[in-house]
A = this chain, B = another copy of it.
Amino acid sequence: MHPTPNFPPEALAPLLEKYRQFIREEIFPIDLNVVQGPFKSYLPRLHDLRTKSKQLGLFAPHLSKADGGVGLNLVQFAQVSEILGQSPIGHYVFNCAAPDIGNMELLHLFGTEDQKSTWLKPLQQGEIRSCFAMTEPALAGSNPVHLATTAVREGDEFVISGHKWFTTAADGAKFTIVMAVTNPEAESPYQRASMILVPLDNPGYRLMRNIPIMGEAGEDYLSHGEVKFENCRVPVSNLIGKEGQGFALAQERLGPGRIHHCMRWIGICERVFDLMCRRAISRQLDPGKPLAEKQTIQNWIAESRAEIKASRLMVMDTAQKMQELGAKAVREDISTIKFFVADVLMKVIDRAIQVHGALGITDDTLLSFWYRHERGARIYDGPDEVHKSALARSILKSFTEK
């Protein structure tokens, strides 16, 4: 997604192996504890890991070398992303986690020089975190045309008023990018909103709560904020791109974002699959009779392997096309992988829980964390139903035109 990815293809395989080793040796031993929290108590340890990752040349895989990253292109990064996805804190450690990664892309592509030096640079270096305020509780997120949040121009300022939630990682972030209606009279509903950068020490901004989600409110990076903008004033220079471009930029942001999510989900699937197989061979029903001998367990393992493989091939195929032809050319593919992989993810997690029996519903493994916090995968960035309809209508349109 960065204009000049410059990582040599022939060096990819050893690089991937380094990521695998790092995550296995440095991250797997602590990630269950980290998600059990409190997250903030682990910040020093996570900071150390980031330092180490920089020393090893692994930090910020998606950024160009000039920006302090590894310089991977979309297809290369997708492969790293699967590896990092095996841990709930993988992307965080390497500073390529949502929503920061999306904000980096936005600012890189559309930010002013000033925005870049003030916000993008420290974000790229992992010195600050950011968030993205789009979804609103009162309106269906699946129809982004409807936004109640407004940004009214008064002199050199936008005055923002609105109520957002699912502002991921707002707790502890330094700035947010907020989607607000600036041009309510624009003819097309797709040209009414803009993206505006809001520093979070602004007195008109308030983090109301970290929303309790599936049993825990979480904190810091592992949280989703409900936030208010009340008479929140920012200079007009905080606009990102142009007025009315909000949806266009959001689409731009979501395209690769869905690739990232999907590859992360596949990483989760692989870790979960590993847990499932290990459990199957170690759990004895009778002495010498492991669960693995049960045909139902075998069915789940076989079906999971098939579905994970199908998912990876589809996402990589989409990434390849997107890299070659741009985001517009793969709109159908993006919808396809979004609902297909999210469904596989939930099925694989569910089977692994069942294989674990009572242990599977405790918080003593990562299964519970993902069962709960990835249920949203079928909802955010467009629920399954919206993507299926969009894909089908696009296909049917081509038939109508035949």
| Chain A residues packing against B (C-beta within 8 Å) | 36, 135, 137, 140-143, 146, 165-166, 211-216, 277-278, 280-281, 283-286, 291-292, 294-299, 301-303, 305-306, 309-311, 313-314, 317, 332, 335-336, 339-340, 353-354, 357-364, 368-369, 371-372, 375-376, 378-380, 383-385, 387-389, 391-393, 395-396, 399-400
Contact = CB atoms under 8 A, between A and B. Distances in A.
Contacts of A393: 298
Given A358-B141, A383-B354, A303 B372 contact: no
Contacts of A383: 354, 357
A354 B305 CA distance: 22
A212 to B, nearest CB: 4
B396 A142 contact: no
Given A292-B396, A357-B142, A310 B340 contact: yes
A363 B213 contact: yes
A339 B302 contact: yes
Given A214-B361, A358-B379, A310 B314 contact: yes
Given A142-B285, A305-B391, 16 more contacts: A135-B358, A137-B358, A140-B285, A140-B291, A214-B371, A214-B372, A280-B399, A298-B388, A298-B392, A299-B385, A301-B392, A302-B336, A302-B387, A305-B392, A357-B379, A371-B375
Contacts of A314: 306, 309-310, 313
Tallying the copies of this chain within the complex gives 4
Nearest to A344: B310
Secondary structure type dominating chain A contacts: helix
B392 A215 contact: no
Nearest to A389: B298
Nearest to A375: B361
Q: Which of A215, A291, A354, A360 has the most CB of B within 10 A?
A: A215
B292 A294 contact: no
Contacts of A309: 314, 317, 336
